[in-house]
């Protein structure tokens, strides 16, 4: 690593958006540390070093951040990408299951952020990039718990950005739409399914699979993450992909009732 080379830590970097982001940041000149729960069998791309990390564990997070600082001397960019999807109606999730999803998607972001902030504050600069979702600013029925976590990440990120900006740190959001990844196959299914939601759940599962198959390549999101990491005057939030850009534009100009109908039509639900 050269003296001027910046260091980026990317969680959930063994596949999908996280892996694409790690590769793109390395290509931009960053020394990249990618993480996953078990990286022993992962082949590291050029410029990427892998490290085991469980974002639900305070000890694992503290250990990983310390290892990166001890080895590379700094952390300039944190990309909080690790997360899990969920499918099913809100009523079908037990409280315990909901808490587990929040522990990964929300508390995982908070743990990682809390761990790097003292270091970034001491060096008077840093970027924390939180990978949100189209579901972070619009409803998505039958993904209610996942949507709730992404809305939480959005509120946390926007508020925290104001708290730390005076110390040279920015907290930024990247909001992908449907991306061609194994997201659906890795999503948590509701643990207490109810017959009255079965038809709606099946319809949504089929729609999700279709949208993901026709979705953008993870490299599209990676490019947006690199811009958030490197732009001199970064935007607080950036959409990534065709669908996210389109829905964001419609939301900004359409009256609430019209947008409500758009959401139901997009999700193939009765008027």
Would you say residue 2 has pLDDT above 70? Answer: no
What's the pLDDT score for residue 196?
96
What's the pLDDT score for residue 218?
96
Would you say residue 157 has pLDDT above 60? Answer: yes
Predicted confidence (pLDDT) per residue in 85-124, tens digit: 999 999 999 999 999 999 999 999 999 999 999 999 999 9
DSSP-H helix ranges across the chain: 16-27, 58-72, 95-105, 107-123, 144-164, 198-213, 218-230, 242-253, 256-266
Give buried/exposed letters for 108-141 (b at 16+ CB in 10 A, else e): bbbbbbebbbebbeeeeebbbbbbbbbbbbbebb
Q: Give percent above pLDDT 90 in the chain.
A: 87
Average pLDDT over residues 243-256: 94
Query: What domains lie within the chain, and their CATH numbers?
Result: 7-266 (3.40.50.720)
167 is catalytic: no
pTM (two decimals): 0.94
What's the pLDDT score for residue 3?
46
Higher pLDDT among residues 2 and 64, named by residue: 64
Q: Which of 50, 146, 197, 204 is catalytic?
A: 146
Predicted confidence (pLDDT) per residue in 40-86, tens digit: 888 888 999 999 999 999 999 999 999 999 999 999 999 999 999 99
């Amino acid at each position: 690593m050269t003296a001027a080379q910046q260091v980026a830590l990317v969680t959930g970097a063994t596949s999908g958006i996280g892996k694409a982001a790690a590769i793109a940041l390395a290509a931009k000149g960053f020394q990249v540390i990618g993480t996953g729960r078990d990286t022993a069998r992962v082949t590291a791309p050029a410029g990427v070093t892998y490290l085991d990390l469980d974002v639900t564990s305070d000890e694992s997070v503290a250990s990983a951040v310390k290892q990166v600082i001890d080895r590379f001397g700094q952390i300039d960019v944190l990309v909080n990408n690790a997360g899990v999807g969920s499918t099913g109606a809100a009523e079908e999730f037990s409280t315990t299951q909901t808490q587990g999803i929040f522990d990964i998607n929300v508390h995982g972001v908070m743990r990682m952020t809390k761990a790097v902030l003292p270091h970034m504050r001491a060096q008077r600069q840093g970027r924390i990039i939180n990978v949100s979702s189209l579901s972070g600013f619009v409803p998505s029925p039958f993904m209610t718990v996942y949507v709730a976590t992404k809305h939480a990440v959005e509120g946390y990120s926007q508020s925290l950005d104001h708290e730390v900006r005076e110390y040279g740190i920015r907290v930024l959001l990247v909001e992908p739409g449907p991306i061609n990844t194994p997201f659906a196959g890795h999503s948590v299914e509701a643990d207490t399914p109810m017959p009255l939601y079965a038809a709606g759940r099946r319809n949504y599962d089929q729609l999700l699979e279709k949208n993901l198959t026709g979705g953008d390549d993870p490299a599209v999101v990676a490019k947006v993450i690199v811009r958030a990491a490197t732009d001199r005057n970064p935007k607080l939030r950036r959409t990534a992909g065709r669908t996210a850009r389109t829905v964001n534009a419609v939301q900004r100009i359409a009256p609430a009732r019209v947008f409500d109908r758009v959401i139901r039509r997009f999700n193939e639900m009765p008027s």
